[in-house]
Chains A and B, each alone.
Chain A
Amino acid sequence: MDNPFQKQLGWKQKKESIYLWVFRLCTYTIIAAALFIFSDIFIKGVPTFFKSEAPYVNTEFFTESPQILSVWHDQNGQEYSMSQKNYEQWVVAHPEKEIVDLHNLTASGGGILGPLVGTALLVFICMVIALFIGVSAAIYLSEYCGKGKLMSTIRLSILNLAGVPSIVFALFGLGVFCWLAPVITDVPKDSAAFFCRWFWTNSYLSFQGWGTSLLAGSCTLAIMVLPVIITACEESLRAVPKGFREASFALGATQWQTIRKSVLPFAVPGILTASVLGITRVAGETAPIMLTATMTEKSNLPWEQVEGPWSFLTQSVQALPFHIYTLAKFPESEHVKPMQYGSIAAFLILVMSFALLSVILRNRLRNKLKW
């Protein structure tokens, strides 16, 4: 008997497989580009972490701050490139060598300790501020506020602000935290917008800003991630089934008891994921800290040459993304390559491990707390 359902071979089938391959090609183009970037960076960057002789780890790279890199030839045409400190030692140790063609490259020698520490501090302070304000704001918005028109407008505005370019936040941070924020000082600057006596002391309360500083950078970053954190936390709070709250209220619990005992525990995975994602985003941002927290010529570590916590917070810091930006200005120099690739590989590993952590955390906690 004839098969009435026989496959019809024709243009339609061909078309389907062509489209399928086009879609597949799109997908794997993206994946291939990503693989290319990652592999290129790691293949060229990871060797910077290691050395051929004992202890096999490039300790200089992880324990020194960026320095000037000196590149020179001796009279035999042998090429040398060392950080400036080592160069000076070398000159003393080899008085017989003639130095030819010496040139210096900014921030390309030494290591990345300073930027690493700076980034860690920036991210830490930023997250403390942002999580403190953000999580409580989210709890308030989702648990205490009604669904009034005003509240939904506020919610929508916060959501909208999450998409505002970081450079705009940076500009804001520059204007407000670096130039306008209040400080208590004995000598107010001329540029202060306004100053007055601080109670009955000899000091003034001066709105002169914190300058290019750790605190200004952290606050700018915090403001930047605030909308992201509020939105994400609110979402995870609202994902907790309404029944949980109703059950708790029905047993006579107060609002706070309800939140603490039967809402927060179930929202923790979401909040945690949001905060780790926030860290990923903050750590990767360059523009805001470039405007508000970093200076190129900074070379000492944050705990050197400081008196007291306030001067610690108002000093400028180094930061890994800004260090990378500085390095990007010598695209053609072979001597800078190890530093360039080493820095971006280290930075990428750092950021990616946070991203990975957020994925793992989410999966772990999801499995533990299922409803």
Chain B
Amino acid sequence: MNRKSDLADGACFKRKRGFRLMGLNFNADGIVRGFFGGNAYLAILFLLFICIFLFKSAIGFIPGFRTELSEARISGIEAANHMNYQLVGYDALYTKVNQAFINEKRAKFGNLATLVPIYEEFESIIDDELEDKVDEYTEMDDSEEKQAAAIKLTTLVTKACGEVSTEELLKTIQSRLPQTTEISDNTYQKALQYAHKYALNDYETPDEINEIPALINDQMGAFNKAMDLIKTSDDELREIYQEIEKIATKTNITISDNRKNLASITSLKDELKDNANDSQVAQAIQTRIKELEPNIIEIDPAKNILPIYEIIAKHDPAADNMVNQFQKGINLLETAEITTEKSTILIHESSRLFQELKEIVTERKSLLAEWKHDKPVTMWNSITAFFFGSDWKTGSDRQSLYGLMPLFSGSLLISLVAMAIAVPLAIGAAIYVNQFANKRESRILKPSIEFIQTIPSVVLGLFGVLVVAGLLQGMSEVSWLSWIPGFPIQDRLNVLLAGILLAFMACPTIFTLAEDALNNVPKAYSEASLAMGANKLQTVLKIIVPASLSGIIAAVMLGFGRVIGETMVVLLVAGNKARIPDLSQGVGALGESVHTMTGIIAQEYGELEPGVLHWKALFMVGLVLFLISLSINSICQRVISRKTS
């Protein structure tokens, strides 16, 4: 009845009243709406908070780093670094030359070189097993009897040594000289002869054996002389570097300790003000301040810096000396007779690296000439030192260096390798599944490839360490694959390995998105093309792929975003050495260990108190990652949404 009367006066259209509170109308619908809305805004706030928090934590890094940089400058560490930089370059170069030298020695005197370890093996056999016999023999006086005993002892030695099988012997030797492939009969007999001598002469190593290394070096001729020159060329520079390093580090530690102590004293004084009423607390704070105060050591930077300048004055001649002596060595090398291809390549590379070293020396010389301890460090310096710094060194008591370049280049290189492998595979697969495979085949293939996405990255990482690393290294050492540049691979964990594993991770991502993009091409296009008499391939390459190109590009970029942000795989298989890969050696750089932006965070977060500079530096890296992935994503979203609209 009631309803009818409502209808009559139109009251049924009126809003139903809930209860009112604080001016808001609470009916069931409003509450539900408020609940959902609250959660939505909570989520949005949280996500917004992430961005703000990242920025806030990261941004403090720049002034903090500036302080450290200026302390390094005032104490002279910066000057020491300039010198160290040259020495690091020298070390890399020396390793190359030395490799060539060792390789050459092995090639020329391989048999002679293996003689020593074989002999030493025999020696230990005699020591272990025939001790009493030898002692017995040595103690004999009678010459005739002794002769007979000598023959007996020699046969005993031969027998004892013969018990070691050739394979075992080879294995032992390979552990010392990895390139040995066989033991020649001749060498074996010689070693045995010397072993006899050893036994007969009361454990005295025959002179011939002792002379072998010297003999080999002598016969290396010009190469050997060059090595002598090169080996000593850095001595002078290293000496003054060590000197400057010692002084500067001492000053630097004092300065930064002073800064930390002063900061805590200031904060304690603030606390004291707050707790002025509470005498007990105030007293405790007072004593702590008193404890801290003597720790502050007055130093006069101007006085401290004098010896630094004195040493810097010595730098130029020392550096020139190094370059000249090295140059002489290199010149000698060019006259030396080189027999193996590997050594030739290594020496060739060394000459190239030497040119780089020369450039480094000139550059650092001019930097040192201009160097002033009291030149202020600007914010901009701090920013560029972070983004373009070529060293990331933390955890030592020396000044920490936070340069993004090694991490960024490592991440980028790994991602590029991964994309180079994954993009053709995934897009090829997408084209095949979408266009060529029959229905039944694609019904199996598509979910199987998408299923790969579920493999957790840590599983893939462990699999890489356990299986793929071994496979890859084994493959790189196979002789008929040695034509591939960069083979054999230097490091077990390397860029290529990480790239392969990440490519496998990126494949399903790219595949799914690219397949979607191909699928979204209107069927009319392919029908029209086929009706013109185009075959399937022409239709795919000329019509379907171009029409879905933007989607495919988005797929590739999203795959790239996924790869560059991947943590566990690179942490486990990239080798984690923070250095800029040496791209000048071409594809060989893929065999190097690198570090990545994601890896460094996962590796160094532990045991850091929030707020220290190192912590802020990690947030800075995180921020860079965040911005990279955000920009990649937003570009892709724009591409995709433009496509669909």
Contact = CB atoms under 8 A, between A and B. Distances in A.
Contact of B429 (A12, A30, A255, A348): A30
A86 interface: no
B537 A16 contact: yes
B457 A286 contact: yes
A159 B558 CA distance: 12
B429 A26 contact: yes
A141 B637 CA distance: 18
A133 to B, nearest CB: 5
B630 interface: yes
Contacts of B537: 15-16, 19-20
A163 B558 contact: yes
B618 to A, nearest CB: 7
A327 interface: yes
Interface in B603-645: 605, 609-610, 618-619, 622, 625-626, 629-630, 632-634, 637
A31 B445 CA distance: 8
Contact of A26 (B424, B447, B626): B424
Contacts of B37: 140, 144
B47 A227 contact: yes
B40 A140 contact: yes
B183 to A, nearest CB: 27
Nearest to A229: B43
Interface string B375-413: 000000000000000000000000000000000000000
B565 A283 contact: no
B465 A328 contact: yes
Given A26-B424, A286-B456, A144 B637 contact: no
Q: Secondary structure of the A side of the interface?
A: helix
Nearest to A344: B459
Contacts of A179: 610
Given A30-B511, A355-B451, A290 B602 contact: yes
Contacts of A159: 633, 637
Contacts of A337: 466
Contacts of B162: none
B44 interface: yes
Interface stretch (B3-11, B27-35, B124-132): B27-35
A171 B507 contact: no
Interface stretch (B204-212, B224-232, B365-373, B431-439): B431-439
B39 A137 contact: yes
A34 interface: yes
A226 B47 contact: yes
Interface string A202-226: 0000000000000000000001001
Nearest to B461: A328
A337 B630 CA distance: 39
A83 interface: no
A321 interface: yes
Contacts of A156: 634, 637
A327 B462 contact: yes
Contacts of A16: 535-537
Contacts of A180: 610
Nearest to A324: B458
A34 B452 contact: yes
B266 to A, nearest CB: 16
Contacts of A158: 43-44, 47
Interface string B307-319: 0000000000000
Nearest to A288: B567
A314 interface: no
Nearest to B32: A256
B475 interface: no
Nearest to A139: B36
A324 B459 contact: yes
Interface string B517-558: 000000000000000000111000100000000000000001
B565 A164 contact: yes
Contacts, number: 245
A284 B457 CA distance: 7
A167 interface: yes
B484 interface: no
A254 B28 CA distance: 10
A324 B460 CA distance: 11
Contact of B463 (A30, A37, A161, A254): A37
Contacts of A139: 36
A95 to B, nearest CB: 31
A226 B622 CA distance: 19
A154 B630 contact: no
Q: For the side of the interface on A, what is the size category?
A: 35 or more
B601 interface: yes
A15 B540 CA distance: 13
Contacts of A68: none
A371 B610 CA distance: 54
A201 interface: no
Interface string A162-177: 1111111111101110
B222 interface: no
Interface string A322-362: 00110110010000010011001001100110110001000
A101 to B, nearest CB: 19
B454 interface: yes
B95 to A, nearest CB: 25
B112 interface: no
B46 A226 contact: yes
B426 interface: yes
B169 interface: no
Contacts of A23: 428-429, 431-432, 436
A160 B565 contact: no
Contacts of B455: 37, 284, 348, 351
Contacts of B465: 328, 331
A163 B449 contact: no
B521 to A, nearest CB: 16
B39 A140 contact: yes
B18 to A, nearest CB: 12
Contacts of A170: 567, 601-602
Contact of A291 (B424, B431, B462, B605): B605
Contact of B425 (A29, A284, A325): A29
B50 A172 contact: yes
Contacts of A175: 53, 57, 610, 619
B469 interface: yes
Nearest to B602: A287
Contacts of A327: 462
Given A16-B535, A30-B425, A191-B610, A24 B456 contact: no
B467 interface: yes
Nearest to A40: B467
A26 B449 CA distance: 12
Given A19-B537, A328-B462, A168 B424 contact: no
A359 B451 CA distance: 10
A174 B615 CA distance: 11
A256 B36 CA distance: 11
Nearest to B624: A168
A33 interface: yes
A264 to B, nearest CB: 12
Nearest to A226: B43
A159 B632 CA distance: 12
Contact of A321 (B33, B436, B437, B456): B456
Contact of A160 (B425, B622, B637): B637
A286 B456 CA distance: 8
A223 B50 contact: yes
B53 A172 contact: yes
Which 3 residue pairs are nearest across A and B when measured between Cβ atoms? Answer: A165-B565, A26-B428, A284-B456
Given A37-B463, A171-B622, A283-B456, 18 more contacts: A26-B426, A143-B36, A154-B44, A162-B633, A163-B558, A164-B633, A165-B626, A170-B602, A171-B605, A172-B622, A256-B29, A256-B33, A284-B456, A286-B456, A324-B458, A325-B462, A337-B466, A359-B447
15 contacts: A20-B436, A27-B428, A27-B429, A27-B449, A31-B449, A139-B36, A165-B625, A168-B629, A171-B618, A284-B454, A324-B462, A340-B466, A348-B459, A351-B456, A359-B447
